[in-house]
Amino acid sequence: MLEGISSLIIDLDGVVWLEGKPIKGAAEALRALEERGKRLAFLTNNSVVSRRDCIRRLKKMGIRTERVITSSYGAALWLKREGRARVYAIGERGLREELKLAGHELVGEREAERATHVVVGLDRRLNYQKLAAGMRAILAGAKFIATNRDCSFPTEGGLLPGAGAVVSFLEVAASKPPDVVIGKPEPFLLELALKELHSRPGETALIGDRMDTDVAAGKRMGLMTVLVLTGVSREPRGRQRPDLVVKNLSDLL
Does residue 253 bind a second copy (CB under 8 A)?
no
The least CB distance from residue 49 to a second copy, in Å, is 17
The Cα 143–Cα 78 span in angstroms is: 12
Cβ count near 131 (within 10 Å) = 17
The least CB distance from residue 14 to a second copy, in Å, is 17
Does residue 166 bind a second copy (CB under 8 A)?
yes
Start-to-end CA span in the chain (Å): 8
Structural element, H or E, at residue 173? helix 163-173
Give bridge partners of residue 138 from the DSSP assignment. Answer: none
Question: Is 13 one of the annotated active-site residues of the chain?
Answer: yes
Does residue 48 bind a second copy (CB under 8 A)?
no
Does residue 109 bind a second copy (CB under 8 A)?
no
Stretch that binds a second copy, among 13-21, 22-30, 34-42, 171-179 (CB under 8 A): 171-179
Does residue 114 bind a second copy (CB under 8 A)?
no
Nearer to a second copy, 4 or 158 (CB): 158
The Cα 242–Cα 247 span in angstroms is: 13
The Cα 100–Cα 85 span in angstroms is: 10
Nearer to a second copy, 166 or 228 (CB): 166
Nearer to a second copy, 54 or 137 (CB): 137
Does residue 1 bind a second copy (CB under 8 A)?
no
Query: Any residues with CB less than 8 A from the CB of 215 and at least 6 apart, and which?
Result: 206, 208, 225, 227, 233, 236, 240, 242
Using CB under 8 A, list all residues that contact a second copy: 123-128, 131-132, 135-136, 139, 151-152, 158-162, 164-175
Active site residues: 11, 13
